[in-house]
Amino acid sequence: MRFFHKLFFSGILLGGLILTGPAFSADPKATNQLPEIIPGTQTPKKLPTLGEVTKIIQEQFAGLKYYQSGDLITRNQVRPIFKQLQKAGWDVKEQKEILNRVHSDNDFLATQLRTPKGIKFMRKISKLPGGYDRLDHILVMPYGKRRIKEFINSPGGNLMIEYMTTTKGGKNLGKYLSQTKTGKGFNAPTRRIYTEAQLVQVLQKAYVKATQQNKRKN
């Protein structure tokens, strides 16, 4: 039965994704609103330890209702981390870049993966290597949103993502889709930050850079 699921969804992809089609606000600023991040001159010069940085990240996600490790993270979940890091003594220069790499709370993928069926689907594909990346690649292809909804709402829809990420046939399918206008690099990871673990890795690299810069100043 799993084999037929894969063939069925593979046919959907080949029949729909390679078709030509269209590719895929700022909030008003309140007056006298305090800056979201306190100016860096008010923070201590000494950086927190890497262990303290990791703890701040872990505590933020541990306090989120219904959150499980591996779930797709969003910008509103990540923003408070930078405030806590600044209070601890580290004003992360890469904050804007990092937040831009995280899905916003109201974008298509984030909203779809917050539905009851979306949560079940997410927690299956989150265990797959590059599962979230494949969804983002599909999203920008013709009829991509429709395909993702079908995967989420169809029994065994996660099996197509499993097929694409873990089998030779799936990798070959990705190579074929990579030759289309909107499918370039289909098998490759995106630059997105999808999970808590990925965020930790990115902030660890930024921390090493900040530590080296502090040493040069001293």
CA distances in angstroms from 199 to 80, 184, 191, 194, 206, listed in the order given: 13, 25, 12, 8, 11
Flag whether 26 is in a domain. Answer: no
In Å, how far from its chain's centre is CA 47?
A: 27
Predicted confidence (pLDDT) per residue in 164-205, tens digit: 999 999 999 999 999 999 999 999 999 999 999 999 999 999
Rounded CA separation 15/83 (Å): 47
**pTM here?**
0.80
Flag whether 37 is in a domain. Answer: no
The dihedrals phi and psi of 146, each to the nearest 5 degrees, come to: -65, -40
Flag whether 218 is in a domain. Answer: no
Tell me which residue range forms the domain holding 88.
Answer: 1-15+44-212
Rounded CA separation 12/138 (Å): 12
The DSSP 8-state label assigned to residue 128 in this structure reads S
* pLDDT score recorded for residue 6: 53
Q: Is the dihedral of CA 44, 50, 52, 58 positive or negative?
A: positive
The dihedrals phi and psi of 9, each to the nearest 5 degrees, come to: -70, -35
For residue 67, give the nearest of 122, 146, 25 by alpha carbon.
122
Flag whether 131 is in a domain. Answer: yes
Flag whether 217 is in a domain. Answer: no
Predicted confidence (pLDDT) per residue in 7-33, tens digit: 455 555 555 555 444 443 334 444 445
* pLDDT score recorded for residue 214: 80
Flag whether 39 is in a domain. Answer: no
Residue 44 has pLDDT above 50, yes or no: no
Count the domains in the chain: 1
* pLDDT score recorded for residue 29: 45
Lowest pLDDT segment from 38-42, 145-149, 163-167, 210-214: 38-42
For residue 131, give the nearest of 178, 192, 80 by alpha carbon.
192
Flag whether 22 is in a domain. Answer: no
Flag whether 4 is in a domain. Answer: yes
Residue 45 has pLDDT above 50, yes or no: yes
Residue 208 has pLDDT above 60, yes or no: yes
